[in-house]
């Protein structure tokens, strides 16, 4: 009989509407203001109902974190069109920074907050979302090394270095550490620093 299946579907609907509400609160009010109670209020259920569909708050944040990676991956798709691996890495950097600037909350959840990572530790799972994205970078770095565009010894270490450079620029900016510069310059520092970054990369691009 299809009753159980109908119920299954109904459960899925509520699970998804919880996630939708969580996303709305998260994007409107930010990480700190995303509480179980505020999500519950949005879907007009009691706070405890949420625990029947998600193990805890971290599970919800992990789901949102995964959404962020899907969004980033979609932005990265255009990079397949770039033939030259060094140019592809440069373009990746532009996409990455643009993503961090346009979706600072998603970015924070994906690369800074500890909450979503707790879920992995509990379930002894691997960080698929992060690994897939990093694989994309590694692929291009590998090509660059083979073609003499980059002087790294180790693909993973080199990829991590490039990633960290962009992450550092975005994170310091997001966390207000650009205050080491005057206000005018603060606003454009990420773009300025990225320009210097490209300069360094080009020094090897023969």
Binding footprint of a copy of itself on the chain (CB under 8 A): 111-114, 117, 120, 126-127, 130-131, 133-134, 151-154, 156-158, 160-161, 163-169, 171-172, 175-181, 185, 189, 192-193, 195-197, 199-200, 203-204
Interacting partner of 46 out of a copy of itself, DNA, none (Cβ under 5 to 8 A depending on kind): DNA
By CB under 7 A, residue 45 contacts DNA: yes
Among 52, 73, 181, 192, binds DNA (CB under 7 A): 52
Q: With CB under 7 A as the contact rule, which of the stretches 52-60, 95-103, 105-113, 183-191 interacts with DNA?
A: 52-60
58 near DNA, judged by CB under 7 A: yes
The CA distance from 178 to 186, in Å, is: 5
Among 28, 51, 122, 175, binds DNA (CB under 7 A): 51
Which of 103, 44, 35 is closest to 72 using CA atoms?
A: 103
CB-based burial, 117-153: b 16+ in 10 Å, e otherwise: ebbbeeeeeeeebeeebeebbbebbbbbbeeebbebe
The 8 Å CB, 24+ separation contacts for 3-6 are none
Q: According to the binding rule CB under 7 A, does residue 46 interact with DNA?
A: yes
* Interface map 10-29 toward DNA (x if CB under 7 A): -x--x---------------
Q: Which of a copy of itself, DNA, none has residue 143 at its interface (CB below 5 to 8 Å by kind)?
A: none
Q: How far, in Å, are 21, 38, 99 from residue 29 at the CA level?
A: 12, 10, 19
Q: Let me know the angle formed at the C-alpha of 100 by 50 and 64, rounded to the nearest 5 degrees.
A: 15
For the bound state, the minimum distance from the C-beta of residue 91 to a copy of itself, rounded and expressed in Å, comes to 18
Task: Please name which of 143, 144, 139, 133 lies closest in space to residue 166, comparing C-alpha atoms.
Answer: 133
56 binds, among a copy of itself, DNA, none (CB under 5 to 8 A by kind): DNA
DSSP 44: T
- CA–CA dist 17, 22 (Å, integer): 8
> Where do contacts with DNA occur on this chain (CB under 7 A)?
1, 3-4, 7, 11, 14, 33-38, 45-49, 51-52, 56-58
């Amino acid at each position: 009989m299809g009753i159980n299946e109908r119920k299954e579907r109904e459960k899925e609907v509520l699970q998804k509407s919880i996630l939708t509400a969580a996303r709305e609160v998260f994007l409107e009010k930010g990480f700190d203001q995303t509480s179980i109670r505020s999500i519950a209020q949005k879907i007009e259920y009691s706070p405890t109902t949420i625990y029947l569909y998600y193990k805890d708050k971290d599970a919800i944040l992990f789901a949102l974190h995964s959404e962020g990676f899907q969004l980033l991956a979609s932005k990265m798709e255009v990079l397949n069109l770039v033939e030259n691996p060094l140019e592809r890495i440069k373009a990746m950097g532009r996409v990455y920074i643009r993503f961090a600037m346009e979706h600072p909350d998603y970015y924070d959840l994906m690369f800074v907050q500890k909450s979503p990572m707790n879920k992995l530790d509990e379930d002894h799972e691997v960080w698929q979302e992060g690994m897939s994205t990093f694989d994309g970078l590694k692929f291009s770095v590998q090509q660059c090394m083979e073609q003499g565009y980059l002087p790294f010894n180790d693909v993973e270490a080199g990829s991590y270095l490039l990633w960290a450079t962009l992450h550092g620029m975005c994170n310091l900016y997001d966390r207000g550490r650009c205050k080491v510069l005057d206000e005018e310059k603060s606003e454009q520092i990420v773009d300025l620093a990225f320009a210097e970054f490209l300069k360094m990369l080009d020094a090897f691009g023969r």
